[in-house]
Structure formats: C-alpha cells, structure tokens
Structure 1
Amino acid sequence: MTDPTSSAVLRGAVDLSSLRNRPQPPAAGSAGGAAGGAPAASVPTLIVDVTDATFGEILELSRTVPVVVDLWAEWCGPCKQLSPVLEKVVTELAGRLVLAKVDVDANPQLAQGFRAQSIPMVVALVAGQPVPLFTGAVPEAQVREVFGQLLQLAAQNGVTGTVDAGEPVAAAEESEPALPPLHAEAFDAIEAGDYARAAAAYEQALAENPGDEEARSGLGQVRLLERVQGLDLQAARAAAAAAPRDVPAQFAVADLDLAGGHVEDAFARLLQLFAELPTDERVAVRERLLELFGLVGDADPRVLQARRALANLMF
C-alpha cells in the first residue's frame, strides 16, 4: 500500500472495529478474477445483501476490490430512488466495484458502526477502511463522478482487483476501455510516490481537455498528498497554535486534518482563519477552502454547511 494518508483523503469518523473480528458463516459463493491472483472474499454477485454477521467477509473483500455500501430501509422513499442507480452504475463497471446493501432496520450494529443518522447513506470500503461518499438521493451523473473518484483513491492504495461480473472477458474489455495515457501515467506516478509527476500528468490532461472531471479530481487529491507528504502532525499543530494568523501554518494542519478524515476540523480551522484576517488577506484562505470542498464533494452535508458559513463571513 502507498502512503497511508492517501487512503484517508475522504475518510470520515466511522468506527467499524466491533464488526471486524465477528465470526463468519460458511461462504455462500465465490468471486474470481482478482488482479494479480490475489484471493477475493466470497460474494455471490456484484450486488450482495450484507448483515451484521457477514460484514467481516465484505471488509476482507475490500482489500481486493473497492466495495460501495448502500445503507437503506424499506420505508425510505429516497432509498428506493437511489438504489437502482447504484446498481446500474456498479453493474456497468463490470467487476471494478462491488455493491453491498445494508438494511439498517435489520442490521442495527452496522447502522451504528457507520453512524447512519440519515439514509440513504453511501459509504465505500477500501482496504478495510471506510470512505464516506454521500448522503441522500443524488443524480446518476454525480454517482458516476463519485465512483470515478473512488476508483482513483483505491488505485492510490493498490486496491485494483476485480470480481467476476458474470460476463465474457471480451465483453468486459469492451465496456471498460483502457485509461487515457495521461491518467495511466498519473496512476503510475502515484504508486511510485512521485506526486509532482502525477500532478503534471493531470495538469496536462486538463490542458488538453478542460472538461476532464476525473483529471480535475485526481489533481486535487494529488496536490493534497504532495502537501502533507513528510509533515509531522504534532509539529504542525504546535506551529499553528503558536501563530493563529500564520496562513501557511494553518493550511498545513487543515490539510493534515482533511487527509486524516477530520473534515469538519479542517473546515472550521480555515473558516476561523478567514474570519480573523483582514479583508485583503482572505483570498488565499477562500481559495484553499474551495479546493478542499471540491475534494470532499459538493453534495456532502459538511461542505454545504461550510459553504453557508463562508458565504455569511463574506457578506
């Protein structure tokens, strides 16, 4: 696995420790086709119902292929709108993602572990680590964009396997064309820890196609990883505490907080800095906030709340 901060770029405060070591029943089926010959955990299809008792199996599978977890309930109208969209997109990805469906009413431990305060709630698992994606029913285009970002994040952590989608190999290859050359170059650079080269590849991709949202998202993540590389959290916090209006010092801690999944802390720090600075010194803070908003996702409730707070401070 690459630098562990990369797996936490979008990670939230989700505690799954109580479910990690739960004894598992015998496997109901098998999944194949994992890249590099790595064994995959047993799941019957690309879309599987998961319970409190079988969740450990899905955690193990996420070390081979990213798993999208759909937390839903029978009484939830928005869930019934979103679930078919998730199933459609996962199916089209032909084994690069698995969809795990969790009925929160029937599986209270999982609902508590994911802190599902409202549903539908969609979370991913990458190498056993939770990655919050979005809450509420969102458009299909946004689902595709978020899943594209998830696959990039998984690739950064070496989780690039697939499961058998039940389709002939040729059909799968037709539906999933090879990565564009600059994207492939960026992925190779990320795995080598060369974030500067990855950023350059994404920048060139955007220069050639300004509408390339996957390149834009990848560039934002790579820039964050490049900034936090080599930073010491305790030293950064001490420097920020000693100089509350030192913009670079506050930026460093905010970056580390976001990379570690402390999204609200990162936003709160920069909003407070914005409020305390003179008007002519606020531009850089606003730009950094907007960059971090883009990394977390415009539909995320934490981003929406922080955007409102920023607007109130500006006007």
Structure 2
Amino acid sequence: MLTTFILALAALQPSSVLGRQLQARDTISNDNYPFCDPATNKNCIVGGKYLVPQLDFSIENDVGDVAFKRYLPTHTFTISQWTNHKMPEKCYYWAVTADQWVATDFRVYNVTFSDCSTPFVVCYHKKATKTINQISTEISRLPVKIRQATSMYLVYGDADSDNNNYRGAIATLCDDGIIVGRSSFYFATSLIHETGHAVDCTLASPDAVHPGHGTEYSSGTAWHNAVVMDGYAVSAYGAGSYVEDFADTGRAALLDNIYPGGLAAFANNNPNLTQITNQVTNFKSVVGAYYTTGGTCDKTKKFPYPTDLVTV
C-alpha cells in the first residue's frame, strides 16, 4: 500500500508533502452555511456545515489546549541519542528526499516513556526552536493508547529561511506512523489532532493487521453515515473532509472523556452540541476506549519501531 499522508494544519507548498491552509479563527463565525461546497471541493463533507459556536480547541493556548495540558498528565521519559550515523529510512525519505532538509542537520533520538517500554524515535533538526526535552514532554501528554498509533516524530526548524523549499506546518504520514512538522506546532491540541489521523488508519481501521495500518475508518460508510445523520461537521476545519472531521472529533471525544462534566461543560453547554451527537457517539464506540488517560501501550497494537536504516 502506498503511504497515505494526511494534509493537516499546514500552509500550501507545492514541493512539500503537506498542504491545506489553516483557517483564520476570527473569520469562521462570519461564514454563511454551507461552509464549503461539494460542487467545487471534492473533499467537502456533504452539506458543508459545521458546529457554531465553534469548539475552542484548535490553537495553541486556546481553551481546549489549556484543558488538554491541565487534564492530560505528562509522563517521565529517557532520551538516548543515536551515535551510529544512521537514520530510519522513512525519516530520511520524508525529511530529506520529500521535504529537502539536509540529513546531517538531524539528530536521531530514542525517547522511552514511562508508560511504554517500546521507544519512539524523534528525528530532530538542529534549527528546531523547541528543545528535544520540550518536544518529548509534549508527546508524553498524549494518552498512551493513542500515542501507540505512531512510532516516529520528525521535528523541523521553524523559520522559512531554515529551508526555502519547505512551507509546511504539521501533518501525519498515516501509513508510516509518523507525525512531521515544525517544532512550534508540537503542542497538545495540535498533536491530538494529528495523532487522530494515525488512529484513523490503525486502531480504527476495519482491515488493519495489527500492529500496522489499513484503510482509514473515516473513508467508510459508517463514518460517512454519522456525518450525514448529523448534517454538521465538528468544526469548520473538519468540514474540509471526512478525514479531518474524524481527527477533530477525536479532540471532542477526548475532552468528553477527561474534562470535568464532559464536553458539554467544556463548551459551556453549547446549545448546538446535539448537532454532532452521531459523530461523537460513533467515534467513541469505535476508539473511545483509547481516548482516555492511564494504562500502558499494547505491544500487539503499538506501531512498529523502525528497523530499516540508512547511513548519513
């Protein structure tokens, strides 16, 4: 199967594997329905509508991000730098071949969290503005049962001048279990959304052979029916496609599981929450057990540690 990459929270750049412009939050509430038109956008959800008022969980330090940081505990971890002049082949392909960074500017680390004995690999660029410790701390917030849908994190520099060929932000390489993007986008709510894409093609997949990937659940009839029954996407960003709506529903479901009083309390009893009932219910029936705190990773479902290496 060809590697699927999810275009999420990224500025459009033809030479990059990433795409899709991040919506300006202050313009969303002024848009008239439908938000997007299937006649002009083949990825548009039927009807193109989305929840209003918006759930405030998309931007660093917004209400949702603060809630995730408060109610998702960090975990201790150990960091071990690779010293063998090797790099995972998939890290090399996406970072160097696809996104045109310089291989020797990366440091490769194993990061082992206290809730999972299998290390995660971080390919870390020297121009990243967050330290490897800061990056690891943000990753550690992810509930381990969804974190296990990944195996690698590609952390890039944050300035356009760091790489004139790259204008991306952050995205998920679903089939490879990789989250890739600028270090400034490694914050709680962003990582939860991106990890949702990894869950979509692994833990939620109807045909994945674990540990591994398969067809995205969001491409199937059950998810499409839930969206159509509701008639509204969870967010304006989610209204861009079924796959983005699935990932944003993950943020809503996680808040419903961890926030005191659930999603209704988080959203100040938003009167329109009933508009997304079928999506949240369907999501939780399939992967809701993973969107909670506690526990450890499951070796039968943890995305495999990379073993194909290249010399740099």
Fold shared by both chains (TM-score > 0.5) = no
Please give the TM-score of this superposition, normalised by the length of structure 1: 0.30
Higher normalized contact order (CA 8 Å, seq sep 6+, divided by chain length): 2
Please give the TM-score of this superposition, normalised by the length of structure 2: 0.31
The higher radius of gyration belongs to 1
Q: Of Structure 1 and Structure 2, which has the larger fraction of its residues in helix?
A: 1
Q: Of Structure 1 and Structure 2, which has the larger fraction of its residues in strand?
A: 2
